[in-house]
Structure 1
């Protein structure tokens, strides 16, 4: 059943399906599969279905204004206004642009519709992720990574049952990373195919415009999708900034001067070690960082000579060995987000352990420290959605304390709570029979053995 079919479903039938699900918390019936799955996630995450708790507002108006000025989608806002704004105003609808967390950055359109939307906190600065607002098109488009439509009673929150919406994610043309979402919201006509085609077309047009701009400037984004560096492509490497990506991969990627280098596992270890040292390191110290066994100076010099051939002498210096340009790393990004208390963004920016098969002491130490910080933040958050993402990942699948924390975080009436608690008990029993490594480190060890 698609959105057009759902539109033909009577409002009373959708309301009945919604009430039946909230009463029984079983498998939703009479709704589309993507809606049923979303309702179950909302129930497991403790989203209020009666509309009594509206989506939260993010920061102050001044903070939002500052955030919007640096967001990459500000560059295509005029395009959205041209493609969607006039039509939304004429048809009594609103269009919205949000970031990767579902925070609405701009909400514009028909004045009366904008005012009506504000009453349910569909307003600039409000967080309309699925986890905060329940089933809705912007949140679900971000959750699934594809365009979606949500019709009236398909919304999980009763506050939005008078609305229909269509939304599409917008991706960075350089990396494929989702930058945000564009949405049309309004009456029943939004549930028709032309509305979905309109937001899909607007998203594709925005991506094409961003790709065009990338030919004039190289844009580097942080895990939250914000611009952290803009470099004039006509003068490559002018600011000397370098971006290193080493999480969840054995061969690190190093971006420099508009080029991306895929490093060998040993060169990945060296670059990570130099990035951690910052100001440079002597050869004997670097040798200790890279291996518990004695690494001869000639072997190390040979590896560094080969690495210098890849990176160029302008980036890799010697006496001491150092990266000669500022380096931004994905593992430092995660650490910074954790320090700011932005656990959801940190977890979203963590595709896996740092160089998981590496046994270089400096890498192992940094990998363990980051894993411990992230795991502690997730468990300490008490957030069912974050805990679910943790245990669903390979490195958290056998983490008994995380499963226990998830069981405590789920609502008492949730059908998933018993299953989660049973999984936690099974893992706890297993841990009494087998010597137990911290779960994240066990995952890295398994990866090491599989590659040997």
Structure 2
């Protein structure tokens, strides 16, 4: 899967045109910001990307409380995809950022700032507004800003001066681009050039955009190598199969028409499972992923209406009737109503208050044993087609 920025959309995100006076621009935006902050209406002349962000975030005044050093280190170590790109970002952006009086900021997919690099003078100013390592800069945390808007819009964004929601950020310009993993289409972080609004230039947007695309090219190449390694290091079955990594990217298959990625059930486990769009599979975990082999069973679960607490399992032309206890019936009814699944805590309402969690899990385990391979966990959910009978 190739993830591309929307070209025309990205071009209109630049806050200034070449040669436009930053000070004059800031003065004109100040009045627009005041009009919005003092009321509920967003002036129609506000750039669409900023108007959308103002609508989402509002004028937040939350305190910014950064993570401690150990939590920052843990986030860096747990995000290897982003950490492996830091040298690339520094090589492509840090020197140019320094020359322009900007700092380079690298944040993760949650909006946490994990690296702040650049001139000490800029970093001291950024410390004063809480734009520091360990702080979270989503729109829901600090209002409209470059990182948060780029994460929400999934396109490169430049936020200039009073386009920021909070007044202490009005002397800044932040030019951000999201970094998206092409294999999963998931956001892994954002890169930002930040400095005085007087340093604003539309070329900054093109620069961070190109570096983000280069990073995604690296991610795509690394993913291809991992898929090759997954295929070469596992003994593949003679029967029809699909070999996938933990995110569902397909490394190899036989007997199936599959795309580059399939949707795996949340909390996939070894044993029998229903894979949406393909049917019933035997699932075996291997280093780096899963091997899925077809069971040649076409299961359907029929929930009967009326006073009888029973279900019908239809498989390969045969029907099996299974009686359920009142409690198991209540659990099943909730799972039918919530196809995305429920956690243990969300099912707790079926038991008296203060019932130990181990008791609830034991009952769920007994129900799963009655319906092997049909109820997955984490969260608990039905993984076979369900219909209601008479």
Say whether the fold is shared (TM-score over 0.5).
yes
| Matching of residue 3 in structure 1 with residue 15 in structure 2 | yes
Residue 365 of structure 1 corresponds to 335
Distance 1:374 1:163, change over 3 A: farther
The Cα of 1:365 is off from its aligned counterpart by: 2.5
1:26: how far off?
Answer: 1.5
Deviation at 1:70, TM superposition (A): 2.5
Deviation at 1:243, TM superposition (A): 5.3
- Work out whether residues 90 and 110 of structure 1, in 8 Å CA contact, stay in contact via their aligned partners in 2: no
Offset at residue 272 of structure 1 (A): 9.5
Give the 5 Å matches for 1:295-444.
295=314, 365=335, 368=338, 371=341, 373=343
Alignment correspondent of 2:73: 65
Specify every segment of 5 or more residues in structure 2 that has no aligned partner in the other structure, as ranges: 1-11, 237-241, 254-259, 264-273, 286-294, 303-310, 320-330, 348-381
How far has the Cα of 1:216 moved from its partner?
2.3
- The residue number in structure 2 matching 1:354 is none
Residues 1:128 and 2:137 are matched in the alignment: yes
- Whether 1:270 and 2:280 are equivalent positions in the alignment is yes
Q: What 5-or-longer segments of structure 1 have no aligned partner?
A: 219-230, 246-253, 276-282, 301-360, 378-443
1:327-353 superposed Cα distances (whole Å, 9 cap, x missing partner): xxxxxxxxxxxxxxxxxxxxxxxxxxx
Look up the match of 2:183: 174
SS at match of 2:312: coil
Candidates 25, 42, 45, aligned match of 1:27: 42
Q: How does 1:40-79 map to 2 (within 5 A)?
A: 40-43=55-58, 47-48=60-61, 53-58=62-67, 60-71=68-79, 72-79=81-88
Given that residues 91 and 110 in structure 1 are in contact (C-alpha distance below 8 angstroms), is that contact kept between their aligned partners in structure 2? no
Match of 1:213 in 2: 222
Shift of 1:140: 0.3
Instruction: Provide the secondary structure at the position in 1 that maps to 2:190.
Output: strand
SS of equivalent to 2:338: helix
**Residues 256-286 of structure 1: CA distance to partner in whole angstroms, max 9, x if unpaired?**
64565759977755349999xxxxxxx9xx9
SS of match in other structure, 1:122: coil
Question: Could you tell me whether the CA contact under 8 Å between 2:176 and 2:193 is conserved in 1?
Answer: yes
Q: 2:139 touches 2:145 (CA, 8 Å); kept in 1?
A: yes
Distance 2:174 2:344 in 1: 35
Question: Given the two structures, how large is their TM-score scaled by the length of structure 1?
Answer: 0.54
* 8 Å contact kept, 1:134–1:156: yes
Residues in 1 aligned to 2:333 and 2:182: alpha-carbon distance in whole angstroms: 31
User: Could you list the per-position Cα deviations for residues 210-254 of structure 1 after superposition, in whole angstroms to 9, with x for gaps in the alignment?
Assistant: 222223224xxxxxxxxxxxx934734479995577xxxxxxxx5
**How many angstroms apart in 2 are the aligned matches of 1:166 and 1:142?**
12
Match of 1:418 in 2: none
- Identify if the C-alpha distance between structure 1 residues 33 and 69 changes in structure 2 by more than 3 Å, giving closer, same or farther: same
The TM-score normalised by the length of structure 2 is 0.61
RMSD between superposed Cα atoms in Å = 4.2
Deviations 1:365-415 (A, max 9, x none): 3772855559979xxxxxxxxxxxxxxxxxxxxxxxxxxxxxxxxxxxxxx
Give the distance between the partners of 2:215 and 2:230, measured in 1 at CA: 20
Which structure's residues are more often strand, by fraction?
2
Q: Is the 8 A contact 2:299 2:315 kept in 1?
A: no
